[in-house]
Structure 1
Amino acid sequence: MKAIGLMQYGDKSVLQEIEMQTPLVGDNDVLIEVYAAGVNPVDWKIREGLLQDVISYDFPLVLGWDVAGVVAAIGPNVTVCKVGDEVYSRPDIERNGTYAEYVAVDEKYVAKKPRNLSFEEAASIPLVGLTSWQSLVKFANVQKGNKVLIHAGSGGIGTFAIQLAKSFGAHVATTTSTKNMQFVKDLGADTVVDYKTEDFSLLLHNYNIVFDVLGGDVLKDSYKVLAPNGKLASIYGPKGMKIPQTEISREKNIESDHIFTEPNGYELSLITELIESGKIKPVVTHVLPLHVEGVKKAHHISESERALGKIVLKKHW
């Protein structure tokens, strides 16, 4: 099969088309023909070798943590998926990624594609959807009436997280740049802070939950806006990292955790229900062909860190 991958870490120039063996289908596996693959910042960070201490890979390395496609084959122990089913997934990162013709995924990580979405829209969901779910629902237990601050509301995670929190009945505040304020309001944000001209830690008070995707001073200052017994979820940093406590966090008895997103087909199926009910809509701003130049352009856009919503690669073999 064809795939877009790399033989060494580096800049966009290391991306190349690679001929690889079609993945073997294990007893519990679903072989998915890739119709679309999502692009995430983690892809180019892995490509550049920035996460070598976190995730160990061998070469050739195929990137991609999001897939939507059609089931091409199943293992003997597979009980739910059938050949021809339209599915999506955030696969196990220990196996090669989704910038390829096919990807083999354990059935427990697979869910039926939302019926009201295209493959490109569906491929934008798994990683950001599960990251948001595991942060806001599984860890923070978001409830109706909670006040929730979501940082970087116009990005891939932020656009999903705003809608997810709103679907649970929360009051949502978010941070974004001046030009994107109306964009995040249209997604459902109740309070919008322009990070270029305003300090969220001075404007927001007594929030139940903060969802941080930026780290650094933003993470540290987020404790200031939390109410006593509030919760802070952050995705910034390596797996297993403990978020350092501060004097404020100890005084307020803040519960904090670093979230490293795990693949989960059941949680993805719950997200499917929210999407099919119209409570969450994907935000895809760029669809590019799944070939070398398309991937290079996608990474260029993602590396700018100014992309709205999600970037998706469309089957082009």
Structure 2
Amino acid sequence: MKAQTMKALTFKRYGKSPEIGIADVPLPTLKADELLVQVHAASVNPIDNMITTGMFKPVLHFQLPATLGSDLAGVVTKVGSNVTRFKPGDAIFANIFDLGTGAIAEFAVVPEHLAALKPANLDFVQAASIPMVGLTSWQALRERATLRAGQKVFIPAGSGGIGTFAIQLAKHLGAKVGTTTSTGNVELVLSLGADEVVDYKRQAFEKVLRGYDAVLGTVRGDAIEKSLGIVKPGGAIVSLVGPLDAAFARARQLNFVLRFVFGLMSRKIMRLAKKRDISYSFLFTRPDGTQLGEIGKLLEADRIRPVIDQVFPFEQAQDALAYLAQGHAKGKVVIQLC
């Protein structure tokens, strides 16, 4: 009997020519605790472009060729024998990051504990835009920075995928929010709830902002070091862009060499942060269906709204990645499959 196949966005190798394209791949097989989901929409995230370069090869393990993407929304078509919370026909959304499988495909397998029911007031495109940015913001602001009402948090690049969600979550938690954006996006970030907005084309944020309790590091380069100057003693910097640290290597049970290398990479920022009594940590988002369910409630209550820049059809999935790589998206970039 011929194996069933489906179409998926795959890459064949790491490096400068990863050969990204839509290919026929085997239909995934279902384990007892998994759902088979017909993917209606999938969103792309900056890490999708980083994975193909090989930057995360020591940390994330794929069997090549591999399917790209980790955010999806779709309909359950089949459930494993141990699944109790979902049934065929349920509309769900999920993040399957770090599982070695991908979301930009006609079908995806989702472990039951990583799925949540799609918020009823969102369509599939809107729901697919949420999981990675929602979970990242939740884990950074609530868990790591333990952000509380009345505190101040700096979320740079406020008009980007993470920024548009994190600003709204921080406001929901009762915090005051500072952000950076370009002139054309000032109105957008203000509409999301930002209190202090620095137009980075006109001013340097480190010269304007003061007295912050937490920083969400979303911008590469020297922005993390510069942000030390705006944080109060006892504050926290949670970085999504590095440098990676030894705690991250330990949490992922990486070998001694990688622990040592990541320790070296973060040595300077750790030293500078310690001098000012500020904690620094690198955050790698983990999929979590329970947290996604909580985020879903905020979306259903209109406490947070999805911000979508552009929707690409599945045949143009590669263009979606290229567009995201330009770094100008206002909110999320989503691929619609059906």
TM exceeding 0.5: yes
Helix, strand or coil at the partner of 2:235: strand
Measured after TM superposition, the shift of residue 48 of structure 1 is 3.1
Q: Per-residue displacement from partner, 1:189-241 (whole Å, max 9, x unpaired)?
A: 01101112211112111111111112431001111111111111101135535
Structure 1 residue runs without a partner (length 5+): none
> Which of the residues 94, 114, 119 maps onto 1:89?
94
Structure 2: gaps spanning 5 or more residues = 1-5, 250-261
For residues 267-298 of structure 1, the C-alpha deviation after alignment (integer angstroms, 9 at most, x for no partner) is: 1011011111111000011111112xx11211
Q: Tell me if 1:108 matches 2:108.
A: no
* Aligned with 2:322 (options 297, 300, 307): 300
- Aligned residues: CA RMSD: 1.7
| Corresponding position of 2:178 | 173
Distance 1:84 1:19, change over 3 A: same
In 1: Cα distance, 2:116 partner to 2:44 partner: 19
Q: Equivalent residue for 1:278?
A: 302
Equivalent of residue 249 in structure 1, options 269, 273, 283: 273
Structure 1 stretches of at least 4 aligned residues deviating more than 6 Å after TM superposition: none
Deviations 1:64-117 (A, max 9, x none): 010000111111111111111110000142332011111111111111111110
Q: Aligned-pair distance for 1:13?
A: 7.8
Which TM-score applies when normalising by structure 1? Answer: 0.94
Separation (CA, whole Å) in 1 of partners of 2:236 and 2:218: 14
* Corresponding residue for residue 124 of structure 2: 119
Alignment-derived partner of residue 138 in structure 2: 133
Greater CA drift, 1-10 or 125-134: 1-10
Q: Report the CA distance shift for 1:247/1:93 in structure 2 as closer, same or farther (over 3 A).
A: closer
Q: Do the aligned residues in 2 keep the contact of 1:224 with 1:248 (CA within 8 Å)?
A: no
SS state at 1:73 partner = strand
Q: Distance in 2 between matches of 1:303 and 1:48?
A: 12
The aligned amino acid for 2:294 is: L
Q: In structure 2, what is the equivalent of residue 156 of structure 1?
A: 161
Q: C-alpha displacement at 1:53, in angstroms? A: 3.2
Q: What fraction of aligned residue pairs are identical, expressed as a percent?
A: 40
**How much has 1:16 moved relative to structure 2?**
2.3
- What amino acid maps onto 1:58 in structure 2? Q
**1:5 is aligned with what amino acid?**
T
* Residue number among 4, 16, 25 corresponding to 2:21 in the alignment: 16
Give the Å deviation of 1:56.
2.5
Q: Give, as a single letter, the amino acid of the residue that structure 2 aligns with 1:280.
A: I
Q: Does the 8 Å contact 1:92/1:105 carry over to 2?
A: no
Distance 1:174 1:207 in 2: 11
Work out the CA distance in 1 between the residues paired with 2:40 and 2:302: 23
Which whole-Å CA distance do the structure 1 matches of 2:332 and 2:214 have between them?
Answer: 24
Aligned length: 314
Partners of 2:91 and 2:190 lie apart in 1 by: 32
Q: Partner of 2:257 in structure 1?
A: none
Superposition TM-score, scaled by structure 2 size:
0.89
Matches within 5 A, 1:169-248: 169-237=174-242, 238=244, 239-240=248-249, 241=262, 243-244=266-267, 245=269, 248=272
SS at match of 1:196: coil
CA distance in structure 2 between the aligned counterparts of 1:134 and 1:58, rounded to whole angstroms:
28
